[in-house]
Every structure is written in structure tokens, then in C-alpha cells.
Copies of this chain bind each other. A is one copy, B any other.
Amino acid sequence: MTKLADWFETSNDATKVLLRLGARPDVISLAGGLPAPELFPGDAVADAFAHVARDQAAVSLQYGPAEGIEPLREMIAEQMRAEGATSVTAENVIITTGSQQGLALIGQTLLNKDDRVALDEPTFLGALDAWRPCEPGYTAIDWSGNAPGFKPSDDTGAMPKFAYCLPNFRNPTGETMALEQRRALVAAAQRDDVVVIEDNPYGALRYEGVQPASLLSLADNGGEGPYDGHVIYTGTVSKTLAPALRVGWMVVPQRLVDGIIISKQGLDLCTSPLTQYAALRLIETGVEAETATRARDLYRGRRDAMLAALEKDMPAGVTWTRPEGGMFVWLTLPEGAESRDIFDRAAAAGVAIVPGDVFYAMSPSRNTIRLNFTNVPEPVIAEAVSRLAGVIADRARDAA
């Protein structure tokens, strides 16, 4: 059991821990960010790959264009237009090796050492990983006053190079940005000429409520395409088909397209055309939409199970978010509690969680925990939350 905690200490690298924890049978893991494997449409994926490799071998098995295959880019552009970003064309769409690569590409293309990135903490760990080689600084988005905005650097007076957010069911908190916030952020981006990255891996996983307009659609002036506004959008089929396809996409303002494509060539020449054609086929034949529907049904029940278990078992003083979608609930322990402590004790009790401090770039909170509810059946969620609540209650007694 100590091995779990060791991983954190030796690798100092939580993503690695999360991926590995997901594979351990002796622990109930609420730690990862993994889709439920029972959703994976294995037979349909098998058919799609077999069809493409057999019937289009010469094209699908060769190197392909760095920006991605044309028909998939057309289809994504159409989807973006249908969601309100009406000037987006295929020229704006770049296929990436998962949306993680989109974040890496943005860093490589835009960030120089000591440039600053504006974001709300806590935030997606993978984004911080993607940008670490660029050695940026971080600054909070300023939500105070009448209008949100970006603070110029104390040293140089420069605005942040870009802002980053996950408006839908943010990893790690599960929170969704309200429409007024979205409007204000896009207005600030346009006013201060700062690009905003809208990272939207979870958008299709809404279990209740109404979807606010995307930042991309709010930044789109609705004129003739290609789009050239102040938002870069990243999406993926990892949560609606399967992570292992490693097919994501970016919607990139026209003025940045060439730079991103050049960076993309440097990273991996091109995303697998085989996988792109297979993903296209899985979208066209409705497999993606059907898988997303099944995911929403399954995950809604698991979210409800987690919220019910938290309500039932957690000691007083512990609070948590109530996400309308996505994969995560964010727990806040009473002031002074140390989630790293809880991590070790929970591991000993057979439950894996993620201490919240790893999701911070600036001012880590020591008393927060991320819980995932998508990868574990409902009764097991209840058992895991019960064990975790016991650990937290014990710890509070010990400290008292």
C-alpha cells in the first residue's frame, strides 16, 4: 500500500500516478480520469479499422497531411458551426493526437520563457504538464470589479500570452462557467487582445441543465469564414468514443493556423490517418453519438450515487461541488486538514483519491480532494465514499 504514496514522492508526477492507479485491482480508484471501459464500442471500432485498412490502405496507412485529413476537418467544422461558431471552416480545424497535443501545440507556438498564462485555479494538470517545457509564469484571471480581465505583468507591463479555461465541468472541480462569465471573458479577450483557450473535453457529458454558449461561438463575429477570433477551442473523441483513438482537434484562428501546423509537424509529423479515417467512420455511422448517449446515462447514475453517498457519510465541515456533467466532484475539507494525509490513510483503507494541491500552478490548497465517479460502478462508489468518509472522520478526531 505504501507504494501508492511512494509514487507521488519519487516521480513528483501525478498524471503518471493516476494512469497507474487505474490499473491496480486491490484498490478502489476514485483517482483517475478514465472513462468506463464497458462503454467502449469494441466491435464497432474493430469494424471501422478493418474497413478502412482494407479498403483505403494506400491512403490510410501512409503519412498524411500535418493538419489532418480533409473529410474529418470538414465534419468537425460543420459540427462547430452547428454549435454556433458560424464562421468556422475546415481551414480552422487541425486534427491532433488527442486534445492534450493541442495544449502542447499552443504552448510551443505561443509561449516563450517567462511569458504568463492566465487561468483559474485549480486547473487541468495536463495543461500544466504540456507547458512546463516552455517555462511560463502563471497569473489568475481577475474576476473582481465590474468586468473580468487580465493583469499586466508587474515587471514588463505585458499582458498574459493567453488565458486557459475549461468552461464545462472543469477538471478538477466539475464546475461550469455561467453564460455571463463567458461573455465577460470573451469581451476581455477582445478588449485586451489576449487569446483564450477553451478546452472542452467533457462538453458532451452533460447530465442535466442547459448548455451555455461556447466561448468559441461568442468570439465568432459571424462573418465570412475562416474564423479569426480570440478563442482557440480544443475537443476530443476520448470521452465519446475511446481515449485510445488519440484523435482530438483544435479550432484555430486563421492568423495562428500556419504556426500551429509547423509545430505539429515537429511533434509527430501527422496524427495517424488510419485512426482519423476510422474515427470519421465511427462518427458518420452514429457510433460516437450512441456511445455518448450511453455514457451520459451511465455517468449520471454514478454522479448521483457519489453525491448521495457524500450526503449520507461525510462528516460535518466537508463540502463538495455538485457538477451538472463531466467526471469529477471536488471535495473541500475543513481548514487545516491535509489532503496528503488523507491520501495515505485512504490508500491504506483501499481507496485512491487525488490530493487537490497537484492541480494548482500558483497557490495550492492543502485541504482539497478530487474524486472521479465515471470509472467505478454505483455500489462500489458508495463503498469507496464510505471508507473515505471514515478516514476523514478518524483524522479529524486524531487532530482534535
Which A residues form the contact surface with B (CB < 8 A)? 11, 13, 15-16, 19-20, 22-23, 34-35, 37-38, 40, 42-43, 45-47, 49-51, 53-54, 57-66, 97-98, 100-101, 104, 108-109, 113, 126, 129-134, 238, 242-246, 258, 261-263, 265-275
Contact = CB atoms under 8 A, between A and B. Distances in A.
Given A37-B61, A98-B269, 7 more contacts: A13-B265, A16-B66, A37-B62, A45-B57, A49-B49, A104-B266, A130-B267
A61 B49 CA distance: 13
A266 B133 contact: yes
Contacts of A40: 57-58, 61-62
25 contacts: A15-B269, A16-B66, A16-B262, A19-B269, A37-B57, A37-B58, A37-B61, A37-B62, A42-B53, A42-B61, A46-B53, A60-B244, A62-B242, A63-B238, A100-B269, A101-B267, A109-B133, A126-B265, A126-B269, A129-B265, A130-B267, A132-B262, A132-B266, A244-B272, A272-B272
Contacts of A64: 19, 244
Contacts of A272: 244-246, 272, 275
Q: Is the interface of A mostly helix, strand, loop or mixed?
A: helix
A59 to B, nearest CB: 8
A42 B54 CA distance: 5
B129 A16 contact: no
B104 A243 contact: no
One complex includes copies of this chain to the number of 2
A11 B133 CA distance: 26
B258 A273 contact: no
Given A108-B133, A266-B132, A65 B244 contact: no
Nearest to A266: B129
A43 B53 CA distance: 7
Nearest to A60: B244
Given A98-B268, A244-B273, A244-B274, A19 B65 contact: yes
Contacts of A243: 61-63, 269
A153 to B, nearest CB: 19
A181 to B, nearest CB: 28
Nearest to A270: B19
